[in-house]
Amino acid sequence: MDREAECCSTHLIDGDGTFNAAGLDNFIKQVKLAECGLSYAVVAIMGPQSSGKSTLLNNLFYTNFREMDAYRGRSQTTKGIWIARCPAIEPCTIVMDLEGTDGRERGEDDTAFEKQSALFALAVSDIVLINMWCHDIGREQAANKPLLKTVFQVMLRLFSPRKTTLMFVIRDKTRTPLENLEPVLREDIQKIWDSVPKPEAHKHTPLSEFFNVQVVALSSYEEKEEQFKEQVADLRQKFFHSIAPGGLAGDRRGVVPASGFSFSAQQIWKVIKENKDLDLPAHKVMVATVRCEEIANEKYASFVTNENWLELEEAVQSSYVSGFGKKLSSLLNKSLSSYDEEATYFEDSVRSAKRKQLEEKLLQLVQPAYQLMLEHIRSGTLENFKKALIDALNGGQGFAVAVRDNTAKFSRLFEEQCEDAIIKQAKWDSSKIRDKFSRDLDSHILEVRTAKLSELNALYETKLKEGLYGPVEALLEGGSDDTWAAIRKLLHQVTEKAVSEFSFALSGFEMDEEEKEDMILKLKNYARGVVEGKTKEESAKVLYRMKERFTSIFNHDNDSMPRVWTGKEDIRAITKMARSSSLKLLSVLAAIRLDEENDTIGDTLVLALVDPKKATNNKTTLSDPLASSTWEEVPATKTLITPVQCKSLWSQFQKETEYTITQAIASQEANKRNNNWLPPPWAIAAMVVLGFNEFMTLLRNPLWLLVIFVSYLLAKALWVQLDISGEFRNGALPGILSLSTKFIPTVTNLLRKLAEQGERPVNPTPQSIQGSTSGFSSTASSEVTNEIEMEYSSPTSRSHNKDL
């Protein structure tokens, strides 16, 4: 009810041609058209009867014109001309629904009203929608061309030029793209315009001065309703702000103000009604066109719902269908034969044209299934080819032989299945799917070939890396004069073995010699790259390797035993030997020498870093041979450590190894001091002279000798137990602090041992009783001291005693 109230539908002109002036005035008041000034637009629609004009307007403009009930048969629905307002569109838009042309109700000869209504629509409207079937494009009668020709001619004679938008709405659009249909339609319109006799004033006026021609296409309302509504919704957007510059009604020349629209429309209709000499072509062809179209649509709809076709279509969605071509050809033939029987008595040209259109529509309907069938054939054959090829390769067959045999086998199978899918009524070219299948085969063969070659290449690269990486690292760590000679020999042996096996493996691919040599060359270059990469890796940690070698040589003798700095070793000579060996490692890692080319890196480093005096005496050399960023006779690409970097590394190496040398010297000096316990000779002489009286006192009283001897034994035991000499090796203060913590526990332990010795039971014999007191004391003291020494002597003390 709201839509009806907004639309205000009014019967403007009835079927007899009577103009409803009162109704128009009432309509203008209801929609308040008089208030719009020039801001309004008028849209009209024309076309054959029962072509869906009212349906299009209702969906496009939300109007409520009466529509035909297809279930009651095809008959006239709209009589005369109806007018309504389009709700929810700005500016105010008025739409006119015209009676369809070629209606059986008016008869074959009564076409005056059709002419008049069409001419009225062109005269009054800013936009005229011409409703036409897609399959009628290119035909003379079915597309309303004679009607347009007459309208153009009369309009030029009766009215002043006014630019109107002619929008041709192509209904039931087929698969033919709009860009292909539009040029044909525009060409026909231009021909009509050129053939129309024109007044002298407009003899050379182009069509664009009177009409703005546009073409749109819509899908079938019955078959694709959702898609139809979406396209109509998009078309509706064009009518918003239609009077703006560039809009559908953008040319506003000669527009009648809204308040005078009623009077203007009445006068235009009056002039049209008085012009009785207008004559349109007979509509016999149109009738044949409509009836044959109906029959064709019925046969098309019957085919679409045919159970056999639906089963075949469903089956082909999932897999290959044997005998597809024969089955579908039979169904198409039955549908076309049925059309021929019902359309026999209609005009031959129209019947044949509609039959062709029906056949094209049916073929367009089944073409996706046919294409899907070909795709199943292509994909299925390709998958079987892939599986067969892999099985052949896994079975040990050569790549080239496996590819050749399987390609021939499955190409033949593909051709046989494509022949089985051919539809007799269609002349479709399957070359594209054949080319695609061929490309897919070639692509997969290339993919497998590339993958296999890549696997083969990766396998031998892994073998090369395993054969070179570890040995090269060991040789570089050795760093001797023949290091690079050994690396070159190793590289040659490992590479030759790998290349020999690799070349044999490539023979199964039957590739040309150039490609084969290129792959072998890449493998050789990879081997060199492994060596160069490992050398670069080692050169990055050369300082660590140099210190490691220096420490190993400096702290171990020729038998790889740890050195003990007793004071007899020549630290200077050992240091020089260790540094020379480290310098040799630096010279080895300074450059890559995979080519047998001599260089002077080693000699230069020795002269500049180890024997700088010789370098200074040699006048032919520079003052500083390492003051350069390149080595002589060594390319920059093979240089890993430049002379300047060598000098910097050597300086850092010396600083970081000085501590080791200093420790060795300090240890040697401490060892010397520990081994020399006697005082100087002058001190001994002074002790003899000054201690003569005390010595004589001891001789007169032997008991003091016993006390001194026992005290000596106890002191010796404490010395050994506390390892006094070892404690003072690290300095006086640390030694005193360490002894202060160990003294009391050591004395306590010593006294406990003496007490345990005294508590042992003794069975004296007469001989033992006769021993003197001094003899017993000395023996007991000796036993206790020896036991303490044996039990508490540390390994360090024992080795120290051994040295003493």
- The percent of residues above 70 in pLDDT, for the chain, comes to 81
Residue 793: band (very low, low, confident or very high) from pLDDT cuts 50, 70, 90? very low
- CA angle, corner 781, sides to 777 and 786, nearest 5? 155
The predicted structure's pLDDT at residue 52 = 79
pLDDT above 70 for 215: yes
Cα separation of 84 and 706, whole Å? Answer: 149
Cα separation of 83 and 71, whole Å? Answer: 26
C-alpha distances (whole Å) from 166 to each of 140, 173, 470 are 18, 19, 86
Q: Does pTM top 0.75 for this prediction?
A: no
CA-derived radius of gyration, the chain: 58
The answer to whether 550 touches 517, Cβ cutoff 8 Å, is: no
The predicted structure's pLDDT at residue 729 = 65
Q: Which of 111-115, 272-276, 720-724, 786-790 has the least mean pLDDT?
A: 786-790
Mean pLDDT in residue range 559-566: 83
Residue 222: band (very low, low, confident or very high) from pLDDT cuts 50, 70, 90? confident
The predicted structure's pLDDT at residue 490 = 92
The predicted structure's pLDDT at residue 151 = 65
DSSP state of 19: B
Q: Which two three-digit tokens encode residue 397?
A: 């067959």
- Taking each continuous run of H as one helix and of E as one strand, the counts in the chain are 29, 7
Cβ atoms within 10 Å, residue 744: 9
Q: Which of 310-324, 369-383, 658-672 has the least mean pLDDT?
A: 658-672
Q: Helix/strand/coil (H, E, C) string of 274-308?
A: HCCCCCCCCCHHHHHHHHHHHHHHHHHHHHHCCHH
- CA–chain centroid gap for 614, Å, is 63
Decide which of 457 and 115 is more confident: 457
The predicted structure's pLDDT at residue 493 = 92
C-alpha distances (whole Å) from 453 to each of 162, 446, 447, 456, 494 are 76, 10, 10, 5, 20
Mean pLDDT in residue range 127-140: 80
C-alpha distances (whole Å) from 109 to each of 18, 51, 105, 283, 707 are 20, 20, 11, 8, 166
pLDDT above 70 for 622: no
Residue-level length of the chain = 804
Residue 767: band (very low, low, confident or very high) from pLDDT cuts 50, 70, 90? very low
The predicted structure's pLDDT at residue 49 = 74
Q: Which two three-digit tokens encode residue 605?
A: 């480093």
Coil vs helix vs strand at 567: coil
State pLDDT tens for residues 19-37. Answer: 999 999 899 899 988 788 7
Residue 216: band (very low, low, confident or very high) from pLDDT cuts 50, 70, 90? very high
C-alpha distances (whole Å) from 755 to each of 603, 750, 758 are 73, 9, 5
The predicted structure's pLDDT at residue 43 = 94
State pLDDT tens for residues 302-326. Answer: 999 999 999 888 988 888 888 888 8
The predicted structure's pLDDT at residue 144 = 63
Coil vs helix vs strand at 33: helix
Decide which of 442 and 801 is more confident: 442
The predicted structure's pLDDT at residue 230 = 92
Mean pLDDT in residue range 450-463: 90
The answer to whether 340 touches 395, Cβ cutoff 8 Å, is: no
Max mean pLDDT range (259-263, 555-559, 666-670): 555-559
Decide which of 756 and 23 is more confident: 23
Direct distance between the N- and C-terminal alpha carbons of the chain, in angstroms, rounded to an integer: 129
Cα separation of 286 and 114, whole Å? Answer: 13
The answer to whether 192 touches 145, Cβ cutoff 8 Å, is: yes
Mean pLDDT in residue range 293-310: 89
Mean pLDDT in residue range 37-50: 83
Mean pLDDT in residue range 413-440: 87
Burial 485-515, CB ≥16 within 10 A → b, else e = ebbeebbeebbeebbeebeeebebbebeeee
The predicted structure's pLDDT at residue 797 = 37
The answer to whether 639 touches 630, Cβ cutoff 8 Å, is: yes
Average pLDDT, the chain: 79
The predicted structure's pLDDT at residue 619 = 45
pLDDT above 60 for 183: yes
pLDDT above 90 for 162: no
The predicted structure's pLDDT at residue 237 = 92
The predicted structure's pLDDT at residue 161 = 53
Q: Give residue for tokens 């007044």.
A: 199
The predicted structure's pLDDT at residue 147 = 64
Q: Which two three-digit tokens encode residue 111?
A: 């076409």
Sequence-distant (6+) residues with CB within 8 A of 483 are 475, 476, 588
Mean pLDDT in residue range 614-637: 70
Cα separation of 491 and 532, whole Å? Answer: 11
Decide which of 119 and 553 is more confident: 553
The predicted structure's pLDDT at residue 344 = 64
Q: What's the order of all strands across the beta sheet hosting 164-171?
A: 10-13, 81-85, 92-98, 40-46, 127-133, 164-171, 211-217
Amino acid identity of 39?
A: S
State pLDDT tens for residues 593-618. Answer: 888 777 788 888 888 887 766 555 55
The predicted structure's pLDDT at residue 739 = 76
State pLDDT tens for residues 631-646. Answer: 887 888 888 889 888 8
The predicted structure's pLDDT at residue 22 = 92
The answer to whether 380 touches 416, Cβ cutoff 8 Å, is: no
DSSP state of 40: E
pLDDT above 70 for 288: no
C-alpha distances (whole Å) from 229 to each of 57, 220, 234, 235 are 12, 10, 9, 10
